[in-house]
Chains A and B, each alone.
Chain A
Amino acid sequence: MDIILGVRLQDCTLVATSKAATRGISVLKANDDKTRILNTHNLLAYTGEAGDTVQFAEYIQANIQLYLMRENDTELSPKATALFVRNQLATSLRSRKPYQVNVLIGGYDTKTDVPALSWIDYLGTHVELPYAAHGYAAFYCSSLFDRHYRKDMDLEAGLDLLRMCVKELEMRMPIDFKGVYVKVVGKDGVRAIEL
């Protein structure tokens, strides 16, 4: 029941993830960060089966870092990163025990100066979208995104949109998700931002 949201703005991508780590009916932690920085301009947000999630995210992170080292600090583009992740999930799906992880990848392509957002589920479905969400959050936020999203949105407008989403989630969702962490992936890399 974790919440992960992503919005692609004019010059950056926003990723929001809930802070609560839950198990059954208990909240175990109220400052859980469900993202991993893959390289300077790519951020992976994940949700899914506990255990699988962090294991998978860090495996991906390690492989992207390895590529970075082998390639003399040349970064993999957001598209290539997303495709790599998709491939890993698709391979995993066909193994004996697949990773049950859904991810969003927020990126910024430094070559073309274009932000990117990828939605990938545990089946290996990959779509590039202007805004995306996984799980229950998608039910509550999709309509808000559909109504209020503009492709020329700046950071402030994007944050306003996320505030609306969080407000809606707090009102409608039966559980307390302890608020969200918001990260911005832009030209200068990944940074956290207060909502």
Chain B
Amino acid sequence: MSRRYDSRTTIFSPEGRLYQVEYAQEAIANAGTAIGILAADGVVLACEKKVTSKLLDKDGSAEKLYHINDQMMCAVAGMTADALILVNNARVTAQTHLKTYNEEIPCELLIKRLCDVKQGYTQHGGLRPFGVSFLYAGYDDRYQFQLYTSNPSGNYSGWKATAIGANNSAAQTLLKKDYASDMSLRGACELAIKVLSKTVDSSNLNSDKLEFATLSLGADGRVVRKIWSELDVDLLIKELGVLEKADEE
């Protein structure tokens, strides 16, 4: 029955729903988990890597973490190819703003622009919506550190800690339980690993399965964005000993 209203992205079903948009959101719910946590002195983005073939040649770039500009990064859940289009769009928007105003674009404005593009595909017909959700970590001098998410419908919202992708509701429950607003970036990284260790179905979590990125302020007051190397991720896991702790519980 619902099939009749499935084929077009822009047609409402009798219950007032847009099936294609909901399907897109469903597709994301099967993608690897990505979580973001806002700390007092930074933001951390952590993702589960899905493609872990030994034969895959690593070109050094992250699978689902992207730099947007000097003050923003994002994590992706869903179709990477779709995400690349939007990430490219975001990068151009950010640089255009920088060119006209000689100021970095405020985080929310950039996300708003990106979500306008996403929204367009739920209203103008003939095309499918973008099958991606984003987690954005950003810094601007108005609101300092920020964490946002956006989904295929074009809605966005700001969070202290949130998760997208597979098991996101389980991850969010864990985050709600353990989040403290005065958390340091280090504490946030620890929490991120702890949550991922429980939501990712893998017995031993290591850098093959994880991707990490942090946003913080350097000594000179400039924003430091870092997508972690595998070595750093392994080191963090080892140092924290989160996995052993989790086992004991």
Residues of A within 8 A of B (CB): 70-71, 74, 76-77, 79-80, 83-84, 87, 111
Contacts and interface: CB of A to CB of B under 8 A. Distances in A.
21 contacts: A70-B109, A70-B112, A71-B106, A71-B109, A74-B106, A74-B142, A76-B101, A77-B103, A79-B102, A79-B103, A80-B101, A80-B102, A80-B103, A83-B100, A83-B101, A83-B102, A84-B100, A84-B101, A87-B99, A87-B100, A111-B141
Interface string B42-54: 0000000000000
A34 to B, nearest CB: 25
A70 B112 CA distance: 10
A76 B112 CA distance: 17
Interface string B92-112: 000000011111001001001
A152 B154 CA distance: 51
Question: Would you list the 10 A-B pairs with minimal beta carbon distance, nearest first?
Answer: A80-B101, A83-B102, A80-B103, A87-B100, A83-B101, A84-B100, A84-B101, A71-B109, A74-B142, A80-B102
A87 to B, nearest CB: 5
A110 to B, nearest CB: 11
Interface of B: 99-103, 106, 109, 112, 141-142
A71 B141 CA distance: 14
Nearest to B143: A74
A124 to B, nearest CB: 13
Given A70-B112, A71-B106, A83-B102, 9 more contacts: A79-B103, A80-B101, A80-B102, A80-B103, A83-B101, A84-B100, A84-B101, A87-B99, A111-B141
User: Looking at chain A's contact residues, is the secondary structure mostly helix, strand, loop, or mixed?
Assistant: helix
Contacts of B101: 76, 80, 83-84
Contacts of B102: 79-80, 83
Contacts of B99: 87
A70 to B, nearest CB: 7
Contacts of A77: 103
Interface hub of B99, B102, B112, B141 (most chain A Cβ within 10 A): B102
Nearest to B140: A74
Nearest to A111: B141
A71 to B, nearest CB: 6
Contacts of A76: 101
Contacts of B141: 111
B47 to A, nearest CB: 30
A79 B103 CA distance: 9
Nearest to B113: A70
A71 B110 CA distance: 11
B116 to A, nearest CB: 11
Interface hub of B101, B141, B142 (most chain A Cβ within 10 A): B101
Contacts of A79: 102-103
Nearest to A83: B102
A70 B99 CA distance: 19
A83 B101 CA distance: 5
Contacts of A83: 100-102
B49 to A, nearest CB: 37
B96 to A, nearest CB: 11
Contacts of A71: 106, 109
